[in-house]
Amino acid sequence: MPYAAGMLVLGIETSCDETAASVVEWTAGALKVRSNVVASQEALHAPYGGVVPELASRAHLDCIVPTLERALEHAGVGWKDLDRVGVAHCPGLIGSLLVGVSAAKGLAWSLGKPVVPVDHVVAHLAACLLDRPMPAWPALGLVASGGHTSVFRLDGPTEPQLIGWTIDDAIGEAFDKAAAMLGLGYPGGPNIEREAAGGDPQAVRLPSAYLRREGVQFSFSGLKTALLYAARGVPGTPRRPSPQAPPLTPERVRDLAASFQQAAVASIIEGLDAALLHAGERPRSLLVGGGVSANHALRAALEAWSASHGIECRVPIMAHCIDNAAMIAGLAALMPAPSGIGDLGFVAEPMSRIARGARGPQRKAS
């Protein structure tokens, strides 16, 4: 039966180590996920303890066409049924982004359908809009991912205004480095969470740094160093040799993981307290996205924080927390329609246009 209903958008996501494609239908004011296919490269990068950019882009090249075909097949639609193509064009690994961007432009050109480039960081927040009614605006948006810890004020899904960022590491990056310090391997976040479940978060006092100088700022590098010292001992001097750290037994690893996770979550909550002061009109919803939003301790803390402020808390379903293309298709569906097939002159960019990497907005040269 030929497809005829709402607008069908194909989303393409290749910014890091996941090749993803999804078909989302925008119908009756809601975003319905028709398919969501992710080809993960986790096993490919695991032996290296992190993502190897060259390997990632080559794997995207191998996976992109079958992933696109599977997304259409799962959605039960053909190429000609598509109304729009959305693609993550920033931020990410440039070689990886180029694969998705080139595929999207080629498809738009050959199908004669518009292509809409979207920002991956903003798309993480669109994950909260999939398969549910739209939230009440204005909203606060929190992206907690491997590359970003960003807070936005949103008057609508496509109009984010950056109001908070990390001055050093992103929270996911800190989880990954903490896991490496504790010998838990890659991917770090889920491994820390698993160990933390059996540990005592009060066992080791670790700092939750939050800086109030310029509005809403986060910092995770001090927490990372505190964990390193707790795990391996404080570096000594020739006059004052370092005291021995307790041995890194499985129990100590679990306690350190739990203490680290608790401190990281506390930093986020403190940042959100400050964001309320900087958000202007009182937000009515909290939209959360990014890989770290899969963390149950963070989810529980965000739910409790939102409830205490009378704000609706929206966290994505697990499949939409990590990088996926449904969030790309969802955001692309809500963007204004370009004329014709759109401007094919857009390029892949390593930095976010809106979140400006880990360190907030670019300052004007003085």
Residues of this chain that bind Zn ion (CB under 5 A):
145, 323
| Run of H or E residues at 107 | helix 94-111
Should residue 189 be labelled a site residue for ligand KG4 when binding is judged by CB under 6 A? yes
Cα 129 to its chain centre, rounded Å, is 15
Q: Shortest distance, CB of residue 296 to Zn ion, whole angstroms?
A: 19
Question: Distance (Å, rounded) from C-alpha 7 to C-alpha 31?
Answer: 10
Of 57-65, 215-223, 290-298, 357-365, the segment contacting ligand KG4 by CB under 6 A is: 290-298
Specify whether the CB–CB gap between 12 and 85 falls below 8 A: yes
Should residue 150 be labelled a site residue for ligand KG4 when binding is judged by CB under 6 A? no
Q: Shortest distance, CB of residue 111 to Zn ion, whole angstroms?
A: 27
Q: For ligand KG4, which is the closer residue by CB, 196 or 333?
A: 196
Amino acid of residue 255: D
If you count them, how many residues does the chain have?
A: 366
Cα 348 to its chain centre, rounded Å, is 18
Q: Which does 188 bind (CB under 5 to 8 A by kind): Zn ion, ligand KG4, none?
A: ligand KG4
Count of residues interacting with ligand KG4 (CB under 6 A)? 20
Beta sheet of 18-27, edge-to-edge order: 30-40, 18-27, 7-13, 84-90, 115-119
Q: Which does 193 bind (CB under 5 to 8 A by kind): Zn ion, ligand KG4, none?
A: ligand KG4
Q: Shortest distance, CB of residue 176 to ligand KG4, whole angstroms?
A: 5
Q: Shortest distance, CB of residue 300 to Zn ion, whole angstroms?
A: 22
Should residue 172 be labelled a site residue for ligand KG4 when binding is judged by CB under 6 A? yes
CA distances from 171 to 145, 187, 213, 295, 313 (A): 7, 14, 19, 11, 20
Cα 121 to its chain centre, rounded Å, is 6
Q: For ligand KG4, which is the closer residue by CB, 26 or 218?
A: 218
Q: Using alpha carbons, select from 17, 20, 19 the residue that is nearest to residue 50.
A: 17
Q: Which residues of 52-80 are buried (b: 16+ CB within 10 A; e: fewer)?
A: bbeebbbbbbebbeebbebbbeebebeee
Should residue 201 be labelled a site residue for ligand KG4 when binding is judged by CB under 6 A? no
Q: For Zn ion, which is the closer residue by CB, 342 or 360?
A: 360
Q: Using alpha carbons, select from 149, 98, 155 the residue that is nearest to residue 267.
A: 149
Q: Shortest distance, CB of residue 46 to Zn ion, whole angstroms?
A: 19
Of 132-140, 143-151, 155-163, 275-283, the segment contacting ligand KG4 by CB under 6 A is: 143-151
| Run of H or E residues at 150 | strand 149-154
Specify whether the CB–CB gap between 214 and 361 falls below 8 A: no
- Give the x-and-dash track for 328-357 against ligand KG4 (CB under 6 A): ------------------------------
Residue 282 phi, psi (nearest 5): -55, 125
Q: Among the residues of 208-325, which ranges form H helices?
A: 221-232, 250-278, 296-309, 318-321
Q: Shortest distance, CB of residue 240 to ligand KG4, whole angstroms?
A: 36
Q: Which does 294 bind (CB under 5 to 8 A by kind): ligand KG4, Zn ion, none?
A: ligand KG4
Q: Shortest distance, CB of residue 355 to Zn ion, whole angstroms?
A: 11
Should residue 322 be labelled a site residue for ligand KG4 when binding is judged by CB under 6 A? yes
Q: For ligand KG4, which is the closer residue by CB, 172 or 342?
A: 172
List contacts with ligand KG4 (CB under 6 A). 16, 145-147, 172-173, 175-176, 187-190, 193, 290-292, 294-295, 322-323
